[in-house]
């Protein structure tokens, strides 16, 4: 730097002797380029510093800073073009653009949703950027760019706080989105997909057969949060009847004084009003890691939501624990990891380990297979399963990092109640299907379930149970009163359910998507409202038109040998009686137009 100060021809020399010191009148191409570089660095470093002390989780990576610098450079690039024309004096106007991005990013991250408000922020950023670039000299811009980074560095790399003693345990609920039990080594799968989950299982109470209340995200999460089955919540298509929702798990824990927060990789969860109920804040991972401009670019490319490594979820969760969780007070945190969800594209290391030589691009979009436009070959099925295994392994690695990070911070089975489960499984070629949403087989409904913490013995429970019982179970473990209108606690704190119930209402929106790729796709086998009921190893699957079949899971665990529905008539009748005993179970049909475009929620690419 000393040599550069004596070289006016160099770009750095402008900081001392060049035209930048004279302010906005310096419009030569080199002067504008140097000033643009410092302005972009300043805007990026300010965002990092503000986010590092802001009220939302933040887990920055060098790649994040690089993306922001690149976007700032693109926004300021017109200034470089103008500097070479007769309109050079206008170039300084575009040097303010990085500050418009800065305020837009902050507003996006901190929950500003109204278009008018976002426009005001962008305009305010332009004004702020105009002032900074007009008044600031090269030296002051350089100093201002470096100082926020130093402050952020001190904050980010400070000593990790250790959990202080609290009279009650904190509660962590982890949902592995789209996770099939049949591909978890913790549940006996032959490939080592989940060593961290297996280690946690040795410290937990493991339920060998847990069944989800629905075969896809929204109703299954609703059942866990509310402790009631989808039909009891008036669920239809993709939303709930608001009049039937009386308290959630988040409400329960917030009432005990716990801060209730959630971080979800699956955008369905934070974008569904009913699922946010009771949480002080619920964050979409995309909002926490992507700049607003990148969100717009992805929208134009039809890439929505977060589909990446679960380590980002872990990093954000640990940052929340470090900076935002209450000191010396218990808290409640819900996390959704989404790695195994389609498209199946594990990171290179996991692809080499579980799917060597398999190109993820060879696997078609799930709709292509389910509509019949693309034939599911045995090679495709093998490719899907191997890629899926790699995704599971990546998620398990993120889960292991989470556990080690919490242990480092002083959280263990003595002061942390940890529940690990899944919202549903995944079809990986079973019955000719890929993905979820179609069918009511065990591939979709059988999910992992582990509980550890104070008052929880290690071991296994063989009795079939359901994830809808989680709300009552957590209430029981925390000593809260029993609620009569929700599913009872899991054993050993309650009795196993008399029968297992899973429900899937009509999904015309998904059928429309299938018709988008194949106009004559036969969706009739899946249309209507479907129910699966299981008791003593016997399972019936039926719809509201009288169609269905009976399966004996004891001799036919793959459900490959359907028997007539009449053989399970007693189970069908038991469900009807349960339905009649519950008040007002007819679902409310909500208009599809009332919900954001479902492409935006990551179910088609």
Kindly report the CATH number assigned to the domain that includes residue 399.
3.40.720.10
Same domain, 151 and 194: no
User: Is 487 within 8 Å of 468 (Cβ atoms)?
Assistant: yes
If asked whether residues 70 and 184 sit together in one domain, one would say: no
pLDDT value for 26: 57
Alpha-carbon distances, residue 560 vs 42, 224, 383, 556 (angstroms): 62, 29, 22, 7
Do 138 and 274 share a domain, yes or no?
Answer: no
- pTM to 2 decimals? 0.88
| pLDDT for position 62 | 81
- Is 584 within the bounds of a domain? no
Mean pLDDT score of the chain: 85
The model's pLDDT over 385-436, given as tens digits with 9 standing for 90+, comes to 999 999 999 999 999 999 999 999 999 999 999 999 999 999 999 999 999 9
Q: Which residue has the higher pLDDT, 599 or 594?
A: 599
State yes or no: cis peptide before 222, omega within 30 of 0. Answer: no
φ, ψ of residue 391 to 5 degrees: the values are -65, -40
The Cα 17–Cα 439 span in angstroms is 72
Judge whether 228 lies within some domain.
yes
Q: What is the pLDDT of residue 53?
A: 82
Q: Is residue 376 part of a domain?
A: yes
Grouping H, G, I as helix, E, B as strand and the rest as coil, residue 238 is coil
Return the percentage of the chain with pLDDT > 70, whole number: 85
pLDDT at 269 over 80: yes
pLDDT at 336: 98
Q: Which residue has the tokens 């034939």?
A: 375
HSE-CB of 589 using CA atoms within 13 angstroms? 6
Question: Are residues 253 and 210 part of one domain?
Answer: yes
- Total domains in the fold of the chain: 2
Residue 79 forms beta bridges with which residues?
none
The tokens 């299982």 sit on which residue?
A: 201
Domain boundary among 457, 474, 498: 498
Count other C-beta atoms under 10 Å from residue 55's C-beta: 12
CB 57, CB 289: distance < 8 Å: no
Residue 312 in any domain: the answer is: yes
Q: H or E element: which one contains 451?
A: strand 449-452
Range of the domain at 237: 170-498
Q: Which of 458, 475, 498 is the last residue of a domain?
A: 498
Q: Is the peptide bond before 73 cis (omega within 30 degrees of 0)?
A: no
Same domain, yes or no: 191 and 140: no
Separation between Cα atoms, residue 101 and residue 287, nearest integer Å:
14
Q: How many residues does the chain have?
A: 605
Do 150 and 263 share a domain, yes or no? no
- Report the relative pairing of strands 205-207 and 449-452 from DSSP bridges: antiparallel
452 plus 343 within the same structural domain: yes
Q: DSSP string of 23-80?
A: GGG--SHHHHHHHHHHHHHHHHHHHHHHHHHSSS-----HHHHHHHHHHHHHHHHHHH
**CA quadruple 287, 288, 292, 295: dihedral, nearest 10:** -60
Q: What is the per-residue pLDDT for 534?
A: 97
How close are the terminal C-alpha atoms of the chain, in Å?
A: 49
Judge if 105 and 196 occupy the same domain. Answer: no
Question: What region does 548 belong to: left with phi over 0, alpha with psi -120 to 50, or beta?
Answer: left
Instruction: Say if 569 falls within a structural domain.
Output: no
pLDDT in tens, 574-597: 999 998 888 544 433 333 333 344
Is 412 inside a domain boundary? yes
Query: pLDDT at position 427, please?
Result: 96
412 with 308, same domain: the answer is yes
Nearest 5°: CA angle at 136, between 133 and 142?
Answer: 100
The pLDDT, as a whole number, for residue 595 is: 39
Co-location of 312 and 282 in the same domain: yes
Which residue do the tokens 């929204």 mark?
218
Q: Do residues 129 and 98 lie in contact, with contact meaning Cβ atoms separated by under 8 Å?
A: yes
Token pair 């490959």 is at which residue? 560
Count of other CB atoms within 10 angstroms of residue 599: 15
In a domain, 141, yes or no: yes
Mean pLDDT to the nearest integer, 479-508: 94
Q: What is the C-alpha separation between 249 and 343, in angstroms, rounded?
A: 31
In a domain, 12, yes or no: yes
d(CA 438, CA 199): 33
> Strand ranges (DSSP E) for 225-340?
259-264, 281-284, 331-337
Same domain, 202 and 266: yes
Mean pLDDT calculated for residue range 74-95: 76
- Examine the fold and report which residue of 121, 156, 191 is the final residue of a domain before the chain moves on: 156
Same domain for 121 and 255, yes or no, is no
């Amino acid at each position: 730097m000393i040599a550069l100060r004596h070289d006016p021809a160099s770009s750095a020399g402008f900081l001392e002797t060049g035209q930048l010191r004279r302010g906005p009148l310096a419009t030569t191409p080199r002067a504008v380029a140097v000033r643009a570089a410092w302005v972009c660095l300043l805007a990026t470093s300010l965002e990092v510093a503000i986010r590092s002390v802001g009220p939302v989780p933040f887990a920055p990576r060098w790649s994040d800073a690089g993306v922001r610098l690149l976007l700032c450079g693109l926004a300021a690039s017109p200034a470089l073009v103008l500097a070479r024309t007769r309109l050079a004096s206008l170039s300084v106007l575009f040097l303010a653009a990085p500050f418009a991005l800065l305020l837009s990013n902050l507003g996006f991250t901190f929950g500003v949703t109204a278009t008018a408000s976002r426009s005001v922020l962008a305009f305010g950023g332009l004004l702020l950027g105009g002032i900074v670039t007009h008044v600031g000299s090269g030296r002051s811009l350089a100093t201002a760019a470096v100082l926020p980074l130093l402050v952020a560095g001190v904050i980010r790399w400070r000593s990790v706080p250790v959990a202080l003693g609290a009279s009650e345990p904190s509660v962590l609920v982890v949902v592995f989105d789209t996770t099939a039990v049949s591909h978890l080594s913790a549940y006996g799968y032959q490939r080592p997909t989940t060593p961290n989950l297996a280690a946690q299982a040795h410290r937990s109470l493991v339920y060998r057969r847990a069944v989800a209340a629905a075969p896809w995200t929204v109703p299954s999460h609703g059942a866990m949060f509310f402790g009631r089955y989808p039909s009891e919540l008036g669920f239809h298509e993709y939303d709930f009847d608001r009049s039937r929702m009386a308290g959630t798990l988040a409400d329960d824990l917030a009432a005990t004084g716990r801060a209730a927060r959630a971080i979800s990789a699956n955008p369905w969860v934070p974008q569904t009003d009913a699922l946010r109920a009771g949480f002080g804040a619920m964050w979409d991972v995309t909002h926490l890691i992507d700049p607003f401009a990148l969100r717009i670019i992805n929208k134009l490319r039809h890439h929505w939501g977060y589909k990446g490594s679960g380590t980002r979820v872990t990093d954000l969760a640990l940052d929340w624990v470090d900076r935002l969780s209450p000191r010396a007070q218990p808290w409640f945190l819900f996390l959704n990891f989404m790695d195994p969800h389609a498209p199946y594209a594990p990171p290179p290391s996991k692809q080499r380990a579980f799917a060597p030589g398999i190109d993820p691009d060879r696997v078609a979009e799930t709709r292509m297979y389910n509509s019949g436009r693309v034939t599911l070959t045995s090679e495709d099925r093998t490719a899907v399963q191997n890629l899926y295994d790699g995704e599971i392994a990546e998620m398990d690695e993120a889960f292991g990092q989470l556990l080690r990070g919490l242990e480092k911070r002083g959280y263990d089975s003595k002061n942390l109640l940890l529940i690990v489960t899944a919202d549903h499984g995944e079809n990986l070629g079973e019955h000719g299907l890929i993905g979820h949403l179609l069918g009511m087989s065990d591939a979709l409904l059988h999910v992992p379930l582990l509980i550890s913490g104070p008052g929880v013995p290690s071991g296994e429970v063989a009795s079939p149970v359901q994830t809808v019982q989680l709300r009552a179970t957590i209430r029981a473990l925390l000593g809260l009163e029993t609620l009569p209108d929700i599913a009872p606690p899991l054993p050993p704190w309650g009795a196993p359910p008399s029968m297992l119930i899973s429900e899937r209402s009509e999904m015309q929106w998904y059928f429309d998507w299938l018709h988008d790729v194949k106009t004559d796709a036969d969706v009739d086998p899946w249309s209507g409202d479907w129910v699966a009921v299981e008791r003593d190893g016997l399972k019936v699957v039926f719809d509201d038109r009288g169609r269905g079949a009976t399966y004996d899971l004891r001799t036919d665990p793959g459900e490959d040998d359907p028997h007539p529905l009449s053989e399970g008539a007693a189970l069908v009748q038991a469900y009807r009686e349960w339905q009649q005993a519950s008040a007002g179970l007819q679902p409310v049909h909500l208009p599809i137009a009332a919900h954001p475009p479902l492409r935006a929620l990551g179910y088609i690419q």
